[in-house]
Amino acid sequence: MHIILFGPPGVGKGTQAKILSERFHIPHISTGDMLREEIRLETDLGKKAKVLMDAGNLVPDDIMIGMIRGVLTSQRCVNGIILDGFPRTVEQATALEGMMKELHITVKRVLSLEVTEEHIMERLLKRSETEHRADDTAETILKRIAIYKKSTAPVKDYFISRGMLSAINGEGPVAEVSQRMLDALQ
């Protein structure tokens, strides 16, 4: 089963992906986690990504597309994947669709978590306190939301036009949101 989790930063994609991963026994692939690991390892990609991410900017499409191709062709994803944080642009969505066709992979569903901007700000500032993430300052959060609206929100229309997207209310207790997602996958 191949699932894409979609939505702005801070809507709970990572939390829900872990739950779905355990439920369906398929890996959760977070592009944000992949990039943070590159940063931790101080690779060339990590150094470039750190500058961009700390400023609240997106990592270029060609880098992200290459990373995802590597994941999709890996042995660990042979039974499915929960993709979190990709695609973030229409160009990435188009490239992903082409890769999926080439690899004979069908996406079961795109689940779009929907929450208010106020809720996003509250969640990310709280995460900043607990995880000490440099990319979770109020200024950077506002910039990331603006970038999401400009670059990533159009991806939602892309998936809607293909009949693949289910909008999920992402507010409320984690278990309730999880149930809404499971219902959409039925």
Q: Active-site residue among 50, 88, 109, 123?
A: 88
Catalytic site includes residue 162 = no
- Dist CA 166 CA 6 (whole Å): 10
Handedness of CA 40, 125, 19, 180 (dihedral sign): negative
Q: Active-site residue among 48, 108, 127, 143?
A: 127
Catalytic site includes residue 36 = no
Q: Active-site residue among 13, 50, 123, 180?
A: 13
Chain centroid, CA 42 distance in Å: 22
The angle at the Cα of 7, spanning 5 to 8, to the nearest 5 degrees, equals: 140
Catalytic site includes residue 123 = no
Q: 140: which residues sit within 8 A by CB, 6+ positions away?
A: 54, 55, 56
CB–CB of 26/79 below 8 Å?
yes
Catalytic site includes residue 127 = yes
Catalytic site includes residue 88 = yes
Q: Active-site residue among 18, 36, 48, 133?
A: 133
As annotated, the active-site residues are 13, 88, 127, 133, 144
